Structures are given as C-alpha cells and as structure tokens.
C-alpha cells in the first residue's frame, strides 16, 4: 500500500500549539493508547481489523487501533444512529450478526473463515457484499449485505479521515481556531499551510 | 444555587438565574402566556419577540444550552454531537439521511451547525400553482413577508452584495459583502463568467464587520462544526440571550413528549421529560417549533379520544407533503490547488436557473452554490453514496486539494406520498419513532439532471475535469403546511392551527412549497410575523 503524498514535508500536528484546548484534546486522543474494547469481542476485533485495512486501504496498526476504538465506542453507546431503514436491525445487531454472516459466506466460497482467508479472497468477499452478490447463506435474509458493507464503510471512513496522520498526507490544513485563514484566494496559502515541494511561495 | 456559567449545561435559565435542576423554575405550576417547544431557528425568534413584548414565555428545548467555547471544536467527527442523532426510520427510493446532514439539537437548533447561506424567496415561490399549475399556492405572498425579511436581516446584520441580479429583492444588505472570496468560489465565478452566466457573492448570516460584541469571520471554514469565534449568527448567541434579559425562561435537556388538551379541545399544557422525570408547563398558548420531523411527530403522539388522529389533524395532512432540497454535489478536478477546506464554505452562487423555463421539460428551478468541504464529509459521501472504497477512495482523497465543488439546492415538489408517520418501534421515552418515507418525483429527477449538467459546464469552462457527482439532500420542510382551507392544510397564514385556536405550529414544517434556495431566512421571517400576530391578538384578549 503506497502512501504517496503531495505534501511529504507537512505534519499537521506540528501546528497543534495554535489550536484551542478543546480541539487539541479531541484530536490527540486519536493517537492512543486505547483501552480494551468494551462491546466488541476478540474474534470480532480480529475480523474488523482486516476489514478496516481493506476499506481504508491502510496497513498501519496504530491507525487501525483508532478505527476499532471509535467503532467500539459507537456500538457501546446508546446515542442513535441518525437514520436506519425500517427493515434493518439496530447497527449493533447488524454488525455483530453481519460479521457472522461474512464468516459463513467466506466459508461457503473458500472453505475457511474470513480471518484465515487470503487477502485477495477477503477482498473478493467484501467487493461482492458491496454489490449484494456474496455467496448465499441463510443469514443474509435478515442482514442485508450491502447495508452491512455501507455501515462499516461509513463508520470506518469517518474515523480514518479524522486521524491527523491522514490529514497530513492529504494536505488538509486542519483545525484553525483561533488563528483562522487570511490568504484564501486561489493560489495563495498562509505560511503554515501544506505546500508541495518546490511550489511558489504565494 | 445560582450559577451564571452556561458551560455547566444547566437546565433552567432565566435572567440572573442558572440551575442544574428543575427545583427553581420561574413559573413552576403557574400558567404562562406562551410555551414554545423547540429553540431553533424559529423558536429562537419567537421567544425573543414575544418576551420583548412583555409576555410571560417559557421555551423548552430537548438538547443542551451549548457553550461555543467548550462544546464546539474545529473537528468534523466531534460536531456530530451537535446534531439530532436519535434514530429515525428512513425509507423510500431516495431515503433521507438525518443527523448532522439536516437536523440540529440544543439551543440554536439547526442554526448552530448550518452554513449560514441566507436567501429570501422570490415572489413566484409563493405562487407555484398559479404560475406552474402544480403543488399549491401559499396563503401569503412575498410582500406579506417582506418587512420581516428586512427586520431579520437587520437584526442579525446579514452581509451581502449591494446589488443582486435576480429575485424580488435586489439588495442592498445591511453589512458589506464578504471579501475576499475563497478559491473555490473564485473558480466558480470565473466559470460562470466564461459561459455568460451571472453569478454573485452570497448573502450570509455571518459578520463582515464587528457587531454586538461579536467579531467578523476569520475564514476558518468550520461553519458546519459550530462557529467558535461567534462570527456566524445562531439564535443561541443572538436571540436567546436577549430573550432571557427580557424575562423569558429557557428549559433545556428537556424533551417535550406530549401536548395536553382539555374537554373543550383546547391545549392547556405540555409535558416534558428531564433526567427521567416527567414535568408539566401550563400555558395559554402553545407554539410547536420543533422542526419538520419532530413537530408532526409530537402532534401525532399527542392523540386523545377527542383527537384520535393526533392534534390539528382534521385534514389528515399532519406529516404529509414532506419536502427536502435535492442537494447533489458536483466535483471537478483541477491542475491547481483549490483547497476546499479554506474560507466560509459558501461564498458564491448563481440563480440564473431558478425560474421555470418551458424548454427544459420540467417546472421550477434551482440555485447552484460553490461549496467548500472537509475530509470526513467528502470521504464519507464518496464512500457511502458514491461507492468508492479501498485504493480508489484513497487515491481520490490524496488529491483532496485539487477538487472544486458546486452543490445544488433544487426545488422538490410536495407530494402526499412523501411523509412522516409513527412506527411501531419505541425510543428512550417510550414514544414511537418517526418513520419517514421519501422518493423524488419525475420532475424532481429531471431538475437534478439539468442542474448537475449546468454545474459540470461551469466547472469545465474554467478548466476543471468532471470527476464525480454525489447524490445528497438538505433541509427538511413541509409536513404541517399553511393554507386557507382547513381541509387542505394544517395551519392558517399566521401558523395558528385550524382545529385548535391556541395551538400554533411555527417552523419549517409550515412550508407549502420548498423553493429552489436555502430556507432559513424564510423560516425566521415567518416566525417574526407569527410573533407580531400573537402579540396583537393576546393584547385583545384570550385566544
Ligand atoms: C448542515 C446544515 C447546513 C445548513 N445550511 C443552511 C444554509 O446555509 N442556509 C439555510 O437557509 N439553511 C441551512 N440549513 C437549514 C436550517 O438549519 C434549518 O432550515 C432551520 O434550522 C430550521 O429551523 P426550525 O426552527 O424549523 O428547526 P430547528 O432549527 O431544527 O429547531 C428545532 C429545535 O427543536 C428541538 N426539538 C425537537 N423536538 C423537540 C421536543 N419534542 N421537545 C423539545 N425540543 C425539541 C430541537 O432540538 C431543535 O433545537 C442547514 C442545516 C444543516 C443541518
Ligand atoms: S468560516 Fe467564519 S463564520 Fe464560519 S465558522 Fe469560521 S469564523 Fe465562523
């Protein structure tokens, strides 16, 4: 997995002393260390780590740790899930049952469970779920595979793109209070913003 | 014990008093003149205007009394906590996404994390049936709202151009237009100019100069995460503190679960839950301002043997004719860096395609807003709505800074097939969760297609390469519409319910049609007009 970036010299965390305390505290917590999962079980965590690697195209364990922590916190809490199709179970159940279904579908096709499957096989299973075409098993009757895929994607991608390492790689300026931006016109940057090597200093 | 700092999330607030429990309520068992349910865009205006006129007012809000400094952060993920996160069941071909996307919670309601694009409707928005032969006409005209639009703009010092090229109102705005504009807005305006399409800088409920102890905007771009410097207007910082000075009481973290009626059929009180405990507030008049989902839900949940189908529902239309704005996001990739994260998210727009145009094959029209974005929102939309993941998504996101975005605000026609009703599933209060059903009509879809094409034309003209289009929607409206005929509408032109004279519904749910632009200035103008009506009526005697 390549980590090519337009901004190899940029580290958003080097700006942290310019951020307000509340934001600082929130962002730093994403770097760990994280407590043990409270909702997810060991086997679920193993599967979810692999799934996160595929969905986010990411191999770095510290970033996966944060994604799992975020997911666990969310599933543990009773705050709502904003919206849900009336035909679907609650997200806690969707994910827990969905992982069992994913394992069963992998076994159906490859004769092994998801964790023991080759990376390519895991990828095939996930891609087929996105299209609603995973190997047929009875559990898909109550767990809609595309909805499961989208739910995992939604939560994992939200966490992934909230990690400061990823902000640095994509060249996101990050939190900007109290400082704000002054040079917002096309082609202009404030002195602390990410710049490509060799770019004009405008 | 008295505590003046709202940081503590006190639940009872009135002049000189802040409490963490319900033991010191200003009115307690007494009947107040007006009780308002929900302190968002409309509720904020109502509590301010009515208390200023000397009425005894209590406003009850489900969420907290936010403190921008300690509750907001410059962070997308954190900002979900500002939204109405409670699960709503959402079905239909174009099932609506709720939460942060369209629903606020806590004092300020949706204004806390809205984008602050602040448009007046056009004259013909109120006469869709007369001009286009579809939907219904409003019982009011643009000119009924005109003085209230002006009042709201002046109260909050909207910054905007001296002159506008379209619409009934052509400027000027009370505060100077925002300058400079962001790169994304610049690109958009240049594309428009190449095509001969007129564009303008946007009128914003964001300060361009200091006002009322608040500073001008610093372009940090986090309007959808809550404005920490208070440059952006919200009813939380603008109307509610003044209402408290005028004597209003605000009860927060208090969910209204039922409206109570007597044997004469009039509303007498509201019931609310705070910290698991049930309380009551008696009132001569109740105004429901809880947004287009919770307002009809509360009316339906308050059914009695006298009103078996819910309050104010003789027409059967409570919950019906739910509308959104189609809000597709159109992206193009450029060779230069646009940096969507910088500056107030929306700073340029065009309404060149706003009015009906027979040759297009559909009625009504849309606004195109040049729209900023941030990593989580963009990646999530690309993933869940665009189907991107894995390497594909990662590659797009590595080029994050090279994309420009235009977002559509498209008129959606009202239809009874789009509705909110009560489901069989219960929430934490034991109340049925709302079930929402929504699909676009053929006209809506044709309009979307046209708008996406126009947005791509504009970005391409400026040298962008069309990249992707992400289906999205914004703003929920309708569900308790206003009208003259009690059989075909829920409230009259002053938001007073046809069935129960001392029950008002005043928020985005009274919209008859959606218009093709952002709705909140109209929500607030309607609220100011309703306040005037009530003040006048209550001076004359009981309602
Ligand atoms: C991300 C986003 C961007 C937006 N951008 C724009 C924009 O740029 N321009 C624009 O014009 N509009 C915009 N809007 C829309 C705008 O926020 C709404 O139009 C406006 O807030 C609606 O006002 P309202 O009074 O109907 O409801 P709200 O402002 O939502 O207020 C309703 C209040 O009632 C409370 N409530 C609900 N049920 C209960 C209950 N049972 N008991 C007690 N309290 C209750 C809620 O907690 C909430 O605080 C945006 C919205 C969002 C979410
Ligand atoms: S861009 Fe301006 S108005 Fe928006 S959050 Fe930042 S300072 Fe506030």
Query: In sequence order, what are the residues at sequence separation of 6 or more whose Cβ sits closer than 8 angstroms to the Cβ of residue B173?
Result: B153, B158, B159, B160, B161, B162, B203
pLDDT grade, residue A3 (50/70/90)? low
CA B345 to ligand 2: nearest atom:
1
Integer Cα distance of B481 and B420 in angstroms = 13
Integer Cα distance of A169 and B351 in angstroms = 37
Q: Give me the helices (H) in B381-519, please.
A: 390-398, 442-461
B428 has a chain A CB within 8 A of its CB: yes
User: Is pLDDT of A200 > 80?
Assistant: no
Q: Kindly report the nearest CA distance between residue A184 and chain B, in angstroms.
A: 5
- Residue A155 CA: distances (Å) to CA of B13, B118, B166, B494: 36, 32, 42, 43
Q: Which residue, B508, B92, B140, is CA-closest to B295? A: B508
Give the per-residue pLDDT at B49: 98
Residues forming beta bridges with residue B14, ordered by sequence position:
B17
Query: In sequence order, what are the residues at sequence separation of 6 or more whose Cβ sits closer than 8 angstroms to the Cβ of residue B246?
Result: B48, B51, B52
Q: Provide DSSP, B297-316.
A: HHHHHT--SSSTT-TT-TTS
Residue A22 token pair: 């509340």
- Tell me how far the alpha carbon of residue B112 lies from the centroid of ligand 1, in angstroms: 8
Overall size of chain A counted in residues: 202
Pick A55's closest partner by Cβ from B87, B337, B389: B389
User: Is pLDDT of B3 > 70?
Assistant: no
Give the per-residue pLDDT at B543: 87
Angle at B51 between CA B47 and CA B52, to 5 degrees: 115
pLDDT grade, residue B24 (50/70/90)? very high
pLDDT in tens, B438-472: 999 999 999 999 999 999 999 999 999 999 999 99
User: Is pLDDT of B399 > 80?
Assistant: yes
Give the per-residue pLDDT at A142: 85
- Distance from the Cα of residue B149 to its chain's centroid: 16
Interface A:B, Cβ pairs < 8 A? 195
H/E element holding B17? Answer: strand B17-19
Pick A180's closest partner by Cβ from B90, B219, B400: B219
Q: Are B480 and B420 in contact (CB under 8 A)?
A: no
Q: Are B456 and B372 in contact (CB under 8 A)?
A: no
Supply the angle between the helices A145-160 and A91-110 in degrees, to the nearest 10.
110
- Tell me how far the alpha carbon of residue B147 lies from the centroid of ligand 2, in angstroms: 28
Backbone φ and ψ for B32, nearest 5 degrees, come out as: -95, 170
Q: Kindly report the nearest CA distance between residue A139 and chain B, in angstroms.
A: 22
pLDDT in tens, B333-355: 999 999 999 999 999 999 999 99
CA B220 to ligand 2: nearest atom:
6
Residues forming beta bridges with residue B245, ordered by sequence position:
none
From chain A residues 92-121, the ones with a CB under 8 A of any chain B CB are: none
- Helix, strand and coil content of chain A, in percent to the nearest 5, comes to 55, 0, 45
The overall average pLDDT reported for chain A is 94
Give the per-residue pLDDT at B8: 59
Q: Are B353 and B455 in contact (CB under 8 A)?
A: no
Tell me whether residues B97 and A57 touch, CB distance under 8 A. Answer: no
User: Is pLDDT of B188 > 80?
Assistant: yes
Radius of gyration of chain A (CA): 20
Query: Whole-structure pTM over 0.80, yes or no?
Result: yes
Give the per-residue pLDDT at B9: 86
The overall average pLDDT reported for chain B is 96
H/E element holding A27? Answer: helix A21-28
Q: Are B249 and B59 in contact (CB under 8 A)?
A: yes
- Residue A96 CA: distances (Å) to CA of A39, A115, B355: 10, 16, 50
Q: Which residue, B513, B514, B509, B508, is CA-closest to B490? A: B509
In short, whether B117's Cβ falls inside 6 Å of ligand 1 is yes
Q: Provide DSSP, B248-284.
A: -EEE-S-EEEEEEE-TTS-EEEEEEEETTEEEEEEEE
pLDDT in tens, B195-235: 999 999 999 999 999 999 999 999 999 999 999 999 999 99
pLDDT grade, residue B2 (50/70/90)? very low
pLDDT in tens, A96-133: 999 999 999 999 999 999 999 999 999 999 999 999 99
- The predicted model gives B180-191 an average pLDDT of 97
Q: Are B217 and B232 in contact (CB under 8 A)?
A: yes
Give the per-residue pLDDT at B264: 95
Query: In sequence order, what are the residues at sequence separation of 6 or more whose Cβ sits closer than 8 angstroms to the Cβ of residue B95?
Result: A83, A85, B436, B438
What burial letters (b/e) apply to A29-51, b meaning 16+ CB within 10 Å? ebeeebeebeebeeebebbbebb
Tell me whether residues A172 and B95 touch, CB distance under 8 A. Answer: no
Q: Are B159 and B149 in contact (CB under 8 A)?
A: no
Question: Out of A54-63, B7-16, B23-32, which region has the weakest mean confidence (pLDDT)?
Answer: B7-16
Residue B48 token pair: 């301010």
B7 has a chain A CB within 8 A of its CB: no
Give the per-residue pLDDT at A68: 98
Give the per-residue pLDDT at B6: 43
Domains and CATH numbers, chain B: 12-540 (3.50.50.60)
- Distance from the Cα of residue A11 to its chain's centroid: 20
User: Which ligand does the CA of B345 lie closest to?
Assistant: 2
Integer Cα distance of B241 and B44 in angstroms = 10
Q: Are A156 and A95 in contact (CB under 8 A)?
A: no
Q: Provide DSSP, B29-46.
A: TSEEEEEEE--SHHHHHH
pLDDT grade, residue A199 (50/70/90)? confident
The percent of residues in chain A predicted with pLDDT above 90, rounded, is: 92
Integer Cα distance of B532 and B53 in angstroms = 9
What dihedral do alpha carbons B44, B47, B53, B55 form, nearest 10°? 180
User: Can you tell me the ipTM of this complex?
Assistant: 0.96
pLDDT in tens, B361-388: 999 999 999 999 999 999 999 999 999 9
- Tell me how far the alpha carbon of residue B347 lies from the centroid of ligand 2, in angstroms: 12
- The predicted model gives B291-303 an average pLDDT of 98
Distance in Å from the first CA to the final CA of chain A: 33
- Tell me how far the alpha carbon of residue B378 lies from the centroid of ligand 1, in angstroms: 22
- The predicted model gives B84-105 an average pLDDT of 96
Integer Cα distance of B431 and B255 in angstroms = 11
From chain B residues 326-355, the ones with a CB under 8 A of any chain A CB are: 336-339, 341-343
B135: left (phi over 0), alpha (psi -120 to 50) or beta: left
- The predicted model gives B72-82 an average pLDDT of 96
Pick B74's closest partner by Cβ from A86, A161, A177: A177
- Residue B118 CA: distances (Å) to CA of B167, B373, B509, B517: 13, 19, 18, 9
pLDDT grade, residue A202 (50/70/90)? confident
Integer Cα distance of B514 and B298 in angstroms = 22
User: Which ligand does the CA of B99 lie closest to?
Assistant: 1
**Burial of residue B446, with CB atoms counted within 10 A of its CB: 0-12 exposed, 13-18 middle, 19 or more buried:** middle
**Residue B382 DSSP code:** I
What dihedral do alpha carbons A89, A90, A92, A95 form, nearest 10°? 40
């Amino acid at each position: 997995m390549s980590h090519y970036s337009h901004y190899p010299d940029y580290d958003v965390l080097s700006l942290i002393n310019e951020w307000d305390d509340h934001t600082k505290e929130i962002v730093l917590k994403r770097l760990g260390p994280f407590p043990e999962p409270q909702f997810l079980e060991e086997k679920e965590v193993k599967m979810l780590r692999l799934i996160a690697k595929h969905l986010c195209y990411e191999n770095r364990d510290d970033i996966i740790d944060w994604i799992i922590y975020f997911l666990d916190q969310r599933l543990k809490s009773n705050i709502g899930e904003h919206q849900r199709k009336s035909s679907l179970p609650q997200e806690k159940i969707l994910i827990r049952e969905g992982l069992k279904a994913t394992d069963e579908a992998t076994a159906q096709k490859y004769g092994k469970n998801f964790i023991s499957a080759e990376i390519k096989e895991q990828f095939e299973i996930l891609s087929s779920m996105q299209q609603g075409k995973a190997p047929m098993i009875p559990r898909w009757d109550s767990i809609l595979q595309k909805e499961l895929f989208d739910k995992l994607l939604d939560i994992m991608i939200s966490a992934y793109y909230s990690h400061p390492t990823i902000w640095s790689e994509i060249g996101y300026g990050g939190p900007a209070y109290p400082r704000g931006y002054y040079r917002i016109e096309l082609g202009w940057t404030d002195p602390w913003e990410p710049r490509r090597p060799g770019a004009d200093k405008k | 014990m008295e505590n003046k700092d709202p940081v503590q999330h006190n639940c009872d607030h009135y002049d000189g008093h802040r409490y963490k429990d319900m033991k010191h309520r200003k009115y307690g068992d007494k009947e107040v003149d007006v009780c308002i349910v929900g302190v968002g865009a409309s509720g904020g205006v109502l509590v301010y205007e009515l208390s200023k006129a000397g009425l005894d007012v209590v406003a009850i809000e489900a969420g907290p009394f936010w403190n921008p400094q300690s509750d907001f952060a410059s962070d997308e993920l954190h900002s979900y906590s500002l939204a109405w996160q409670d699960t709503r069941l959402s079905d239909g071909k174009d099932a609506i996404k709720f939460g942060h996307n369209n629903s606020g919670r806590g004092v300020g309601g949706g204004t806390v994390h809205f984008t602050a694009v602040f448009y007046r409707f056009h004259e013909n928005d109120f006469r869709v049936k007369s001009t286009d032969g579809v939907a219904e006409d409003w019982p009011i005209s643009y000119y009924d709202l005109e003085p209230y639009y002006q009042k709201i703009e002046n109260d909050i010092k909207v910054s905007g151009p001296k002159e506008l090229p379209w619409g009934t109102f052509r400027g000027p705005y009370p505060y100077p237009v925002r300058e400079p504009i962001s790169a994304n807005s610049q690109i958009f305006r240049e594309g428009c100019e190449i095509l001969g399409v007129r564009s303008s800088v946007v009128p914003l409920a964001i300060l361009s100069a200091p006002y009322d102890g608040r500073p001008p905007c610093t372009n940090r771009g986090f309007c959808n995460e809550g404005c920490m410097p208070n440059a952006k207007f919200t009813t939380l910082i603008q109307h509610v503190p003044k209402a408290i000075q005028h004597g209003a009481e605000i009860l927060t973290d208090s969910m209204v679960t039922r409206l109570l009626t007597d044997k004469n059929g009039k509303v007498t009180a509201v019931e609310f839950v705070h910290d698991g405990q049930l309380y009551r507030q008696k009132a001569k008049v109740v105004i429901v301002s809880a947004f287009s989902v919770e307002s009809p839900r509360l009316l339906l949940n308050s059914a009695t043997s006298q009103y078996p189908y819910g309050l104010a529902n003789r027409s059967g239309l409570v919950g019906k004719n739910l509308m959104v704005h189609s809000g597709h996001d159109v992206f193009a990739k450029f060779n230069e860096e646009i940096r969507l994260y910088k500056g107030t998210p929306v700073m340029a727009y065009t309404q060149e395609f706003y009015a009906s145009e027979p040759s297009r094959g559909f009625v009504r029209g849309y606004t195109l807003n040049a729209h900023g974005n941030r990593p989580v929102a963009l990646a999530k939309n690309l993933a869940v709505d665009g189907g991107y993941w894995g390497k594909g998504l990662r590659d797009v996101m590595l080029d994050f800074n090279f994309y420009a975005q235009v977002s559509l605000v498209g008129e959606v026609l009202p239809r009874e097939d789009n509705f909110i009703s009560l489901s069989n599933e219960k929430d934490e209060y034991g109340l049925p969760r709302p079930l929402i059903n929504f699909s676009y009509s053929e006209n809506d879809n044709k309009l979307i297609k046209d708008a996406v094409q126009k947005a791509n034309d504009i970005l391409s003209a400026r040298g962008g390469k069309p990249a992707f289009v992400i289906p999205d929607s914004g703003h929920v409206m309708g569900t308790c519409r206003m009208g003259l005929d009690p059989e075909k509408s829920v409230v009259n032109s002053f938001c007073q319910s046809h069935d129960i004279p001392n029950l008002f519904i005043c928020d985005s749910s009274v919209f008859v049609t959606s218009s093709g632009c952002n709705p909140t200035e109209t929500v607030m103008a309607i609220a100011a007009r309703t306040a005037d009506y009530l003040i006048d009526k209550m001076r004359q005697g009981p309602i």
